[in-house]
């Protein structure tokens, strides 16, 4: 009789522990769903904000919560008054078709960029933006004015069509590496 009570207690304890694990799993699953829902909401909100500045936004590719922009003046890096979340996105541009070629001047005048990079500035009302286009669409590649990207130490360095050189510092090293690889891929392909 004592053995039955003991095994009965064990059975009750095991069942109680199983119920506790199910509750923990449900809570964990609920937490994951909340995090996913918040992430979707954050991306949708960011997409809508970017659409106010660039109505040709097609798809939000990458979002990083904190970034600072520097500009190279030929000898030194100068911190610009741009800091905040940065987003990389694709754009809807009807002129870009396979085999199309554009001069750098056409790209800049007609806003023919495949991708956009925007820093939603917390320091002042003006945002930092750069348009990007894969090199295969350029009719004339002037190396002094070609879009180029490289990574040095803690900066993703980006040259724009105007010949300006910017350093993009992202707080998260993984974000920095991801952005560098994605920018490189989009420019080279």
Task: Please provide the average confidence, as pLDDT, over all residues in the chain.
Answer: 83
CATH architecture of the domain with residue range 56-188: Roll (2.30)
Percent of the chain whose predicted confidence (pLDDT) is above 70? 83
Q: Please report the sign of the dihedral spanned by the C-alpha atoms of residue 21, residue 26, residue 31, residue 35.
A: positive
Q: Enter the pTM of the model.
A: 0.77
Query: Residue 111: beta bridge partners?
Result: none
What ranges do the domains of the chain cover? 1-53, 56-188
Q: Per-residue pLDDT tens for 65-89?
A: 999 999 999 999 999 999 999 999 9
Pairing status of strand 165-170 against strand 77-91: unpaired
In the sheet with 115-119, reading across from the earlier edge strand, the strands are 128-132, 115-119, 77-91, 57-72, 165-170, 155-159, 148-152
With contact defined as beta carbons under 8 Å apart, do 62 and 182 qualify? yes
Residue with tokens 């004592």: 2
Other beta carbons within 10 Å of 90: 17
Q: Per-residue pLDDT tens for 104-151?
A: 888 888 988 999 999 999 999 999 999 999 888 888 766 556 788 999
């Amino acid at each position: 009789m004592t053995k039955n009570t003991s095994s009965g207690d064990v059975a009750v304890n095991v069942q109680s522990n199983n119920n506790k694990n199910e509750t923990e799993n449900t809570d964990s699953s609920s937490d994951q769903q909340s995090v996913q829902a918040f992430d979707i909401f954050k991306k949708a909100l960011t997409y809508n904000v970017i659409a106010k500045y660039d109505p040709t936004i097609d798809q939000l590719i990458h979002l990083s919560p904190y970034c600072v922009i520097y500009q190279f003046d030929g000898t030194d890096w100068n911190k610009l008054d741009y800091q905040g979340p940065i987003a990389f996105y694709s754009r809807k541009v009807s002129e870009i078709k396979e085999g199309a070629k554009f001069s750098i001047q056409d790209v800049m005048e007609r806003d023919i960029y495949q991708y956009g990079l925007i820093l939603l500035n917390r320091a002042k009302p003006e945002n930092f933006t750069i348009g990007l286009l894969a090199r295969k669409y350029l009719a004339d590649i002037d190396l002094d004015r070609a879009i180029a990207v490289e990574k040095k130490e803690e900066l993703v360095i980006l040259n724009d069509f105007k010949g300006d050189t910017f350093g993009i510092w992202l707080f998260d090293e993984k974000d920095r590496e991801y952005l560098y690889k994605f920018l490189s891929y989009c420019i080279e392909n």
